[in-house]
Amino acid sequence: MPGISDSSATVRRASIGLVVLLAVVLVLLSPQFGRAHPEGSYRPVLDPPALELGCYPLPEGLTLDFAHQVRTDGDVEVDGEPRRELVVQYDLIDDDEVREQLTASFVEAGFTPETGAGDALVFTRPDTGPVSVEVEPLPDVPEDATVRGTVTFDLPSVPLASDDPICDDPYATKRFPDSYELAR
């Protein structure tokens, strides 16, 4: 019986050697089988900010010159007229600074400040009509918070201005269908 155990030991060694050789070959060839190539960035590529896409632009010449992110952008009906409701959150500055920067941006874009109801800012321009803006700070925000408040714009409704396929993506344009439930 000594021949059988020598034979099985040889088979066992050969099997282990073959498995180790196969593992080494797989490791060496793994880049050709879909292994990720490190690029130095492990964050997903994000769409440009919603207002920079060109899908639904702001009135000509108007820019938001403060750190912000668009929460929602869509058409609503106000007194039987289609209007655009754009909601952004502002970052790192207080509500007074936002009002000052918005006023400067609107004036630079050719709008005239008007008297608004309550805290609303109202601007007019002959080709655009009235635009109102409400700035609302978030309550009880810590000093080191990034997001400080919300700005709601009441603008004229605008048609889709680009045929770029990204304009069909509600997560890029922030124009969410009614069937989407938004985070609070």
pLDDT given at position 96:
94
Rounded average pLDDT per 10-residue block, the chain, 184 residues: 68 87 80 65 79 93 95 92 96 94 97 84 95 95 92 95 93 88 68
SS (H, E, C) 111-158: CEEECCCCCCEEEEECCCEEEEEEEEECCCCCCCCCEEEEEEEEEECC
Residues 170, 183: Cα–Cα separation, whole Å: 14
pLDDT given at position 63:
94
Matching residue, tokens 């994000």: 46
Distance of CA 140 to the CA centre of its chain: 25
Distance spanning both ends of the chain, measured CA to CA:
77
pTM of the model: 0.74
Half-sphere exposure of 59 (CA within 13 A, CB side): 24
Residues 58, 108: Cα–Cα separation, whole Å: 14
